[in-house]
Structure 1
Amino acid sequence: MTERIPQTSSTSRRNLLFGAAAVSAGAFLTACTSNENNASAGTGKQQAGGVDDKPGKKVTIGFAGPQADHGWLNAINQNAKERAKQYEDVTLEITEGSNDTAQQIGQIETLINKKVDVLVILPADGKALTQVGLKAMRAGIPVVNLDRVFASQQAYRCWVGGDNYGMGLNAGHYIGEQLKDKKNAKVVELAGIDNLELTRQRTQGFDDALKNYPNIKKVGRQAAEFTVESGQSKMAGLLQAHPDFDALWNHDDDQGVGAERAIEQAGRDGFLMVGGAGSRKVMDTIKAGNSVLKATVLYPPTMSASAIDLARALGQGKGVSGMAELEIPASITLYSAVVTKDNVDDYLPTGFN
């Protein structure tokens, strides 16, 4: 899973937690304008309350994301496409996606030259693509900045993304509650890429949560690379170094596939595992209840479907239902819900492959 919003944890928490009362991105953005009908969410399966699918002013939305070389990133693209299909008044101009910043800048400039009405951009590198965001805004094309934030607020009209600090915080509190009565409990952490701000935020949130449980000590940490292979090799190292622990928090469900392989090969159990992001495979495993994997903390790729909703509202000059303001918010931070066997059926439609 590649880099996302490089905000400090305090900044992230101060952003508008629109939908914190809801439990997933599929429900966090209830509507752009009031309506009578419901439409299914980004996957085309779940129902997102309050989406206004009554045709209005025609809007052309340009969508530019990175290369879908990770399950979560592929889900970002699919959610955007499926959401746009629900609207008769939306035309989606989508780029191939690239992790090369120069190529992505060129793709966005092409969309600007086509004079699309609104742009939705998930930049491969927020800082590097700030200038092209500014160029679009100066051309009168509002930008919905998805997940990885631009370096200047002038480069976007609205930012929509996940809460990395909140992921760690909620994972830590879940584990803490499971182990609060165990004396001298031990936990280990399988992190993501350490030079990414998102990884540091997830670890900080996790560590802060554990401060509330003096009986729990984090005894080991390894940084993987958000891939199956790295998850397997780094988890094997953790298992070898720590023959006894009570819980594992893994930052990413894709690398968690490799972590599970290492755990099975080592014949280890007797601890609980918490994942991160919300893949369908992980949710199916949680529901089956026959693995050390007991929960996952969401980083919802349905945010791209919500970005399409917001872009459509911007193009039609509308606001968000349920809010007093005439304009859409400037910043929306998604809630990192914890999915367990008790609530997994509610989240299965949002799980990504």
Structure 2
Amino acid sequence: MRDQSPRRQNPRQQGARPNRRNVLFGGAVVAAGGLAAACTSNSEKDDPAPAAQAGSLAGDNDKPGTQVTLGFSAPAADHGWIAAIAKSAEAQARKYKDVTFKPVEPTNDINQQISAVESLIQAKVNVLVLLPNDGEQLNQVARKAMDAGIPVVNLDRVFPDKLSYRTWIGGDNYGMGVSAGHYIGRKLKGKGVSDPVIVEIQGIATLPLTQERSKGFADALKSYGYSVTAKQDAKFTVESGNQVAANLLQAHKKIDAMWNHDDDQGVGVLAAIKQSGRKEFFMVGGAGSANAMREIESGGGVLEATVTYPPTMAASAIKLGRLIAHGRGMADLVELRVPQSITLASETVTKDNVDTYLPLGFES
């Protein structure tokens, strides 16, 4: 969930994932979404003095204000998470009478996305919300927008140059690993397991986002005296997820716990597990898809939890873009302007709280 590899960057901070698709805004979704919604009125006549903003009522920022145009660009929706990103942004923009939403054709072609962003710069949008196919390769066009006086809200896949964006908002890949590791570590420790077999199914092993997830997982497990027994990457696809899970099941006659980085590829992982008939272990998923949450809700299977990487971050990016265009900050903060970066929390969704998170899940 991350950064500069072409096309498959993140389910969350890297490139688009193949096939269906690397939760929801987790506590942060509620937090960031709620934060962005909070503040002061957007109408000029009601503008409070700056010193009074910290005490303004949450929700005031949703009142109609100056008309603004928000440009939006993202990769093609070739998997569930990216599809949810686009839907989330558009749905949020529709909630504001003072926002004109100007999306460009989604694409996985770097040059086409650069051209699309340039068209938004030429159109002189007030703010540009941009989820790049590749942060490094779109860095210059984002900088071009900033130099033209158009603030850029960098969504998830970060640009290497901080001068290329006004605000970054995205998920926490390291935190995903930590959340999964703590769930597994606590449960195994509670059962008194001293030398567990823990397997990990990654996305694309060479991506920074995957490496961050794996590091967080290993660090959390270490606090319980545990370590990963075996790990293999599944390319973020259903087909590879199925094959990798089958291979791991065959290689390990007994497994205590499994962490799968991505709920989209998890469709294939779960299919392989069900086909094997194995039930001696429990599994934690990643990203927070609706189908994974429904599986958790129904119970009876190996999937007990998923850790979130919320596509609802796109809705919050729209909120942030609107606040930036209006020159406002977040009422829950003392500062007068939107922060430079916001990292969303990775929440752990279990049967105990799945009803709360299910409405935020995306379809794989």
TM-score, with normalisation over the residues of structure 2? 0.87
What residue number does 2:90 align with?
81
- For structure 1, which runs of at least 5 residues remain unmatched after alignment? 8-19, 37-48
| Residue 201 (structure 1) aligned to one of 198, 212, 220 | 212
Q: Distance in 2 between matches of 1:270 and 1:51?
A: 52
Partners of 2:70 and 2:129 within 8 A in 1: yes
Q: Distance in 2 between matches of 1:68 and 1:96?
A: 11
Q: Distance in 1 between matches of 2:210 and 2:217?
A: 11
| Residue 52 (structure 1) aligned to one of 50, 61, 66 | 61
What residue number does 2:281 align with?
271
SS in 1 for 2:61: coil
C-alpha displacement at 1:219, in angstroms?
1.4
User: What are the equivalent positions in structure 2 for 1:85-100 lying under 5 Å apart?
Assistant: 85-100=94-109
**Given the alignment of the two structures, is residue 335 of structure 1 paired with residue 345 of structure 2, yes or no?**
yes
User: What are the equivalent positions in structure 2 for 1:294-333 lying under 5 Å apart?
Assistant: 294-333=304-343
Deviations 1:268-302 (A, max 9, x none): 11111000000000111111112100000000101
Runs of at least 4 residues of structure 1 off by over 4 A?
none
C-alpha displacement at 1:213, in angstroms?
1.4
Partners of 2:39 and 2:329 within 8 A in 1: no
What residue number does 2:47 align with?
none
Q: Which amino acid aligns with 1:321?
A: A
Q: Distance in 2 between matches of 1:72 and 1:6?
A: 11
| Residue 152 (structure 2) aligned to one of 135, 143, 160 | 143
Q: Distance in 2 between matches of 1:217 and 1:104?
A: 41
C-alpha displacement at 1:53, in angstroms?
2.5
Partners of 1:125 and 1:148 within 8 A in 2: yes
C-alpha displacement at 1:6, in angstroms?
6.8
Structure with more contact order per residue of length (Cα contacts < 8 Å, sep ≥ 6)? 2
What residue number does 1:192 align with?
203
Partners of 1:187 and 1:220 within 8 A in 2: yes
TM-score, with normalisation over the residues of structure 1? 0.89
Aligned pair count? 327
Partners of 1:32 and 1:319 within 8 A in 2: no
Q: Distance in 2 between matches of 1:291 and 1:51?
A: 45
Q: Distance in 1 between matches of 2:38 and 2:232?
A: 46
Partners of 1:26 and 1:302 within 8 A in 2: no
Q: Distance in 1 between matches of 2:223 and 2:67?
A: 52
What residue number does 2:39 align with?
34
**Given the alignment of the two structures, is residue 257 of structure 1 paired with residue 267 of structure 2, yes or no?**
yes
**Given the alignment of the two structures, is residue 61 of structure 1 paired with residue 65 of structure 2, yes or no?**
no
Partners of 2:37 and 2:62 within 8 A in 1: no
Structure 1's 51 and 301: CA in aligned 2 closer, same or farther, altered over 3 A? farther
Deviations 1:43-96 (A, max 9, x none): xxxxxx847321101110000001111110100000000000000000111112
| Residue 236 (structure 1) aligned to one of 221, 238, 246 | 246
Alignment RMSD (CA, Å): 1.7
Partners of 1:26 and 1:350 within 8 A in 2: no
Q: Distance in 2 between matches of 1:92 and 1:6?
A: 23
- For structure 2, which runs of at least 5 residues remain unmatched after alignment? 2-7, 15-24, 42-57
Q: Which amino acid aligns with 2:207?
A: L
Q: Which amino acid aligns with 2:258?
A: L
Partners of 2:13 and 2:170 within 8 A in 1: no
Partners of 2:76 and 2:82 within 8 A in 1: yes
Q: Which amino acid aligns with 2:131?
A: L
| Residue 175 (structure 2) aligned to one of 147, 166, 181 | 166
